[in-house]
Structure 1
């Protein structure tokens, strides 16, 4: 049986904040360590500090990706070796207006625009925004 993706894990300066940002990107409800989950986690041996050093963005229907955030041991340095590509209009190419509207929504959530790319890659047009999340991780909106 082939493997399946479990989590996409990020090291973060502020895991709960980054979890809230990415929950907003994907339209997931924010996951808080409220009751009864908090008691269950504490009973399992985690501490309050452990909970403060973690966050999760999770599709309640289990369809979309699950993102896990863990406290980083130091500041981010350099460019990501991997990044996420986010579709502004899943299943089809967005119009420029749709791309702009989604970019504006992500900026309101805390993203930072790095640049707009409008070029051809061989016979295929490319139109996307390179952005950074609140922790400085690069991602693209296409």
Structure 2
């Protein structure tokens, strides 16, 4: 049996970081539990004070293929380089020049959503772009 997993991010603003990853990946925020029209309604019913409503967030692939992303609020800022990062395969197997054009267009789209381009790389016929999400988590476009 295969083990399922989710990817967890620490964040200062889980809702905003979730919105970024929804837009970046085509994901959707997880729906509130059955019986509740909104998360705010559920959190109120559970007695969670409003100042804690943005302490957690989760987004998922609507097709059910990609892993769920869980985002939890932490008080400290991100320090140092990630030891793990996401690779977003957006080039669709295109050749080098075409691939770079697609990667650069995607980098531009993600930059408009709040990401930052760190570097472009090339090695042994492969090209990629290293970026950071709005909270500084590194990821690559391939």
Give the TM-score normalised by structure 1: 0.83
Q: 1:45 to 1:78 in 2, by over 3 A?
A: same
Task: Find the residue that maps to 2:53 and give its secondary structure.
Answer: helix
Runs of 4+ in 1 over 3 A off after TM superposition: 29-34, 44-47
Instruction: Tell me if 1:12 matches 2:11.
Output: yes
- Consecutive unaligned residues of structure 1, counting only runs of 5 or more, are none
Would the alpha carbon gap of residues 61 and 50 (structure 1) be closer, same or farther in structure 2, given more than 3 Å must change?
A: farther
List gaps (5 residues or longer) in structure 2.
Answer: none
User: Which of residues 108, 111, 114 is equivalent to 1:110?
Assistant: 114
Distance in 2 (alpha carbons) for counterparts of 1:35 and 1:51: 15
- Secondary structure class of the residue paired with 2:15: helix
How far did residue 101 of structure 1 move?
1.0
Indicate the RMSD between aligned Cα atoms, in angstroms: 2.2
Query: CA 1:83–1:41 in 2, change beyond 3 Å: closer, same or farther?
Result: same
Cα distance per residue 1:62-103 (max 9 Å; x no partner): 22221111111211111111110111134x246221111111
Instruction: State the SS of the aligned residue for 1:64.
Output: coil
TM-score by length of 2: 0.83
The answer for the alignment partner of 1:136 in structure 2 is 136
